[in-house]
C-alpha cells in the first residue's frame, strides 16, 4: 500500500473530499495505483491527512460510485480492474474553422425565403408575453399535450376555417416546431415504402427532406393548372405533395377542376393522400384568398400543412398539420408518445394573439407592406430590365422573371453577384433534367427588402439583365 501524500489546499474553493478524490482517481488513471491494490483505510488516511474521517468517507464513496475502487467486506477498499483506461489528453482534431452556413456578402438579397424582420409584431407580442409569464400560469411549465395545447388548436381551427375554408376539428390538428418536423412525423404516421410525388419544379427543401425518408421520390411535371394527373398516375406514387394555392416557385394556382382530378386520383386506391403545403396563402393582393384544397376534400384524403413562419416569423417555431380523421388512430399509436416540440409559452402567446384579433391586424398590415413591395418590384422590373416576361404576380412573396436574352442563367446570377446582388435561378428548383426549350428564369423575392432597396437592387441588375 502506497502512502498517499496529498497536498491539500484548505483555502482553495474546492472541497477537501474532492481534492482527495481527484488525487486517488488520477493515481489510478495514470497507473500509479494498480488493479487489486489496497487503499488505506478511511481512518488511517484521515489521520495521516489531518482531516475528518467523513471527508475521506465522502471521497471514497465517490470513487466507489464511479467504479474506480471497490469495497471488500472486512478487508477494505481495493482498486478495481479497469481495462483499456487511457487518459484523454484529447486533441481536438476537428476543423476549428466555423464554416457554419456562412454566405458571401450581398448588398441586396432577393431571397424568396425570408420575410421582413421589422414586421414582427414585437410590441403586442411583448405585452402578451408579459401577461402570460405570471404566477397564475404555472400550469404552463408542465409538459403539455403532445399534439399541442387544445386552446391554441381551437384558435387555429377557427382561423383556418374562416380564412382558408379548412374543415376540421381541433382533435385533427398536430402542432410542431416547423413544417420539417411535421413531415418527419408524417413519415412515421404513413409508414415506410411509400412513393411520394412532387411537382417539378418544386420547393427543393421538401424534396431533400423526403430524401431522408424510407420513401421513394418521384417528380411530376406541371402544366398551367399544376401537377399533371396523367403523369401522377404513371409515376406509381401513392402520395402527392402539392402547393395548390400558390405553387412554389411558379405561382400557379390550381383550378378547381384540377383539384377535383387530384382528389379523384387519391380516392381511386386505399392509402393515397395529397399533402397540401399551404405555405404562403396569407399573401394575396388581388381578390379573395384562394381556398385550400382541403376545403374541397369530402373524403379525408388531404393532409393539410401550414405555418406561422411567413405570417409571423421563422423564429417562432409553430406549424400545424391537419390530419384526416382516418389517420388519427395511426398518429396516436405511432406518434402519440413524441413530446410536443413547441414551446408552451409561445403556444400560449400565439393563442392570445389570434383570439384578440391582433394576428389578423398584423396580417392586414403585412399584406399592405408586401403589396407595396410587390407593386414596386413589378414596376421597377418592367421599367429597368430588358428581355424579361414576369409571372407569378399578385400573390406570395416573390416574382418569376422569364429571360429571353442571350445569357445563361448562371451568367445572370454571377453578374448580379458581381454587383453584390443575390438573385435565384429557377433552374435550381427543378428535379433532374430541365424541360426542353428551357429558358433562364429568375426568382426575385421582395419580402426582405424595402422599396428603396428593391429599387436600388433592380437598378444594379439593369446593368446585366
Residue 350, Cα to own-chain centre: how many angstroms?
18
Instruction: Give kind and range of the element (H or E) at residue 384.
Output: helix 358-384
CB 381, min distance to its own copies, A: 22
CB 338, min distance to its own copies, A: 5
**Is residue 104 a contact point for its own copies (CB under 8 A)?**
no
* 184 to 67, 178, 211, 308, 316: CA distances (angstroms): 40, 10, 11, 18, 19
**Is residue 81 a contact point for its own copies (CB under 8 A)?**
yes
To 10 degrees, what angle do helices 344-355 and 122-132 make? 120
Part of the chain binding its own copies (CB under 8 A), chosen from 209-217, 230-238, 379-387, 407-415: 209-217
Complex with its own copies: residue 33 or 295, whichever CB lies closer: 295
Name which position in 23, 78, 163, 178 contacts its own copies (CB under 8 A).
178
Complex with its own copies: residue 258 or 398, whichever CB lies closer: 258
Helix, strand, coil content of the chain in percent (nearest 5): 40, 15, 45
The contact pattern for its own copies, residues 54-73, with x = CB under 8 A and - = no contact, is ----x--xx--xxxx-----
CB 403, min distance to its own copies, A: 26
**Is residue 227 a contact point for its own copies (CB under 8 A)?**
no
Cell matching residue 6: 496529498
The contact pattern for its own copies, residues 115-134, with x = CB under 8 A and - = no contact, is --xx-x-x--xx--xx--xx
Residue 284, Cα to own-chain centre: how many angstroms?
24
CB 131, min distance to its own copies, A: 11
Part of the chain binding its own copies (CB under 8 A), chosen from 173-181, 382-390, 408-416, 421-429: 173-181
**Is residue 296 a contact point for its own copies (CB under 8 A)?**
yes
306 - beta bridge partners?
A: 320
**Is residue 152 a contact point for its own copies (CB under 8 A)?**
no
State the Cα–Cα distance between residues 408 and 361, nearest whole angstrom. Answer: 43
Part of the chain binding its own copies (CB under 8 A), chosen from 80-88, 268-276, 366-374, 454-462: 80-88
State the Cα–Cα distance between residues 446 and 108, nearest whole angstrom. Answer: 10
The answer to whether residues 377 and 446 touch, using CB atoms and an 8 Å cutoff, is: yes
**Is residue 94 a contact point for its own copies (CB under 8 A)?**
yes
Residue position matching grid coordinates 384540377: 258
> What phi, psi does 83 have (nearest 5°)?
-85, 145
198 - beta bridge partners?
A: 219, 241
Q: How many residues bind its own copies (CB under 8 A)?
A: 110
Complex with its own copies: residue 52 or 208, whichever CB lies closer: 208
Name which position in 20, 157, 316, 401 contacts its own copies (CB under 8 A).
316
CB 402, min distance to its own copies, A: 20
Part of the chain binding its own copies (CB under 8 A), chosen from 176-184, 369-377, 413-421, 437-445: 176-184
Site for its own copies in 396-415 (CB under 8 A): none
Complex with its own copies: residue 188 or 419, whichever CB lies closer: 188
**Is residue 258 a contact point for its own copies (CB under 8 A)?**
yes
**Is residue 216 a contact point for its own copies (CB under 8 A)?**
no
**Is residue 75 a contact point for its own copies (CB under 8 A)?**
no
Three-state SS annotation for 390-448: EECCCECCEEEEEECCCCCHHHHHHHHHHCCEECEEHHHHCCCCCCCCCCCEEEEECCC
Closest CA to 375 of 259, 454, 271: 454
> What phi, psi does 154 have (nearest 5°)?
-65, -40
Cell matching residue 147: 399534439
**Is residue 342 a contact point for its own copies (CB under 8 A)?**
yes
Cβ contacts of residue 370 below 8 Å, gap of 6+? 116, 283, 285, 397, 446, 447
**Is residue 45 a contact point for its own copies (CB under 8 A)?**
no
Cell matching residue 353: 394573439
The contact pattern for its own copies, residues 348-367, with x = CB under 8 A and - = no contact, is --------------------
**Is residue 167 a contact point for its own copies (CB under 8 A)?**
yes
Part of the chain binding its own copies (CB under 8 A), chosen from 43-51, 98-106, 231-239, 455-463: 98-106
Name which position in 44, 53, 106, 177 contacts its own copies (CB under 8 A).
177
State the Cα–Cα distance between residues 416 and 422, nearest whole angstrom. Answer: 6
State the Cα–Cα distance between residues 386 and 119, nearest whole angstrom. Answer: 32
Closest CA to 117 of 282, 279, 312, 373: 312
**Is residue 88 a contact point for its own copies (CB under 8 A)?**
yes
Amino acid at each position: 500500500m502506497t502512502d498517499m501524500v496529498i497536498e491539500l489546499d484548505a483555502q482553495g474553493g474546492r472541497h477537501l473530499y474532492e481534492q482527495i478524490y481527484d488525487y486517488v482517481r488520477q493515481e489510478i488513471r495514470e497507473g500509479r495505483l494498480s488493479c487489486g491494490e489496497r487503499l488505506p483505510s478511511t481512518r488511517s488516511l484521515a489521520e495521516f491527512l489531518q482531516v475528518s474521517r467523513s471527508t475521506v468517507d465522502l471521497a471514497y464513496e465517490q470513487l466507489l460510485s464511479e467504479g474506480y475502487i471497490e469495497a471488500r467486506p472486512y478487508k477494505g477498499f481495493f482498486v478495481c480492474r479497469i481495462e483499456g483506461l487511457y487518459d484523454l489528453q484529447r486533441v481536438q482534431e476537428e476543423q476549428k474553422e466555423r464554416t457554419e452556413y456562412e454566405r458571401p456578402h450581398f448588398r441586396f438579397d432577393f431571397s424568396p425565403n425570408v420575410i421582413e424582420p421589422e414586421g414582427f409584431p414585437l410590441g403586442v407580442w411583448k405585452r402578451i408575453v408579459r401577461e402570460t409569464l405570471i404566477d397564475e400560469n404555472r400550469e404552463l411549465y408542465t409538459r403539455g399535450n403532445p399534439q399541442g395545447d387544445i386552446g391554441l388548436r381551437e384558435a387555429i381551427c377557427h382561423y383556418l376555417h374562416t380564412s382558408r375554408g379548412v374543415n376540421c376539428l381541433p382533435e385533427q390538428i398536430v402542432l410542431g416546431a416547423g413544417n420539417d418536423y411535421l413531415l418527419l412525423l408524417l413519415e412515421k404516421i404513413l409508414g415506410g415504402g411509400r412513393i411520394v410525388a412532387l411537382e417539378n419544379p418544386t420547393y427543393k427543401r421538401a424534396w431533400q427532406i423526403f430524401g431522408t425518408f424510407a420513401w421513394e421520390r418521384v417528380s411530376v411535371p406541371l402544366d398551367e393548372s399544376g401537377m399533371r394527373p396523367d403523369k401522377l398516375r404513371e409515376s406509381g406514387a401513392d402520395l402527392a405533395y402539392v402547393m395548390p394555392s400558390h405553387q412554389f416557385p411558379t405561382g400557379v394556382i390550381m383550378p378547381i377542376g384540377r383539384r377535383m382530378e387530384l382528389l379523384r386520383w387519391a380516392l381511386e386506391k386505399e392509402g393515397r393522400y395529397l399533402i397540401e403545403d399551404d405555405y404562403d396563402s396569407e399573401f394575396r393582393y388581388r381578390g379573395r384568398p384562394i381556398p385550400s384544397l382541403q376545403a374541397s376534400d369530402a373524403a379525408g384524403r388531404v393532409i393539410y400543412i401550414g405555418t406561422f413562419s411567413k405570417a409571423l416569423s421563422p423564429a417562432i417555431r409553430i406549424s400545424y398539420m391537419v390530419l384526416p380523421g382516418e389517420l388519427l388512430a395511426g398518429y396516436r399509436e405511432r406518434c402519440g408518445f413524441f413530446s410536443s416540440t413547441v414551446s408552451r409559452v409561445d403556444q400560449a402567446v400565439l393563442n392570445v394573439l389570434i383570439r384578440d384579433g391582433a394576428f389578423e391586424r398584423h396580417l392586414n398590415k403585412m399584406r399592405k407592406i408586401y403589396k407595396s413591395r410587390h407593386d414596386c418590384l413589378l414596376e421597377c422590373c418592367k421599367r429597368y430590365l430588358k428581355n424579361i416576361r414576369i409571372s407569378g404576380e399578385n400573390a406570395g412573396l416573390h416574382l418569376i422573371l422569364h429571360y429571353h436574352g442571350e445569357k445563361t442563367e448562371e451568367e445572370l446570377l454571377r453578374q448580379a453577384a458581381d454587383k453584390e446582388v443575390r438573385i435565384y435561378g429557377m433552374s435550381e428548383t427543378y428535379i433532374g433534367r430541365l424541360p426542353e426549350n428551357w429558358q433562364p428564369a429568375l426568382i426575385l423575392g421582395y419580402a426582405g427588402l424595402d422599396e428603396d432597396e428593391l429599387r436600388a437592387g433592380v437598378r444594379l441588375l439593369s446593368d446585366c439583365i
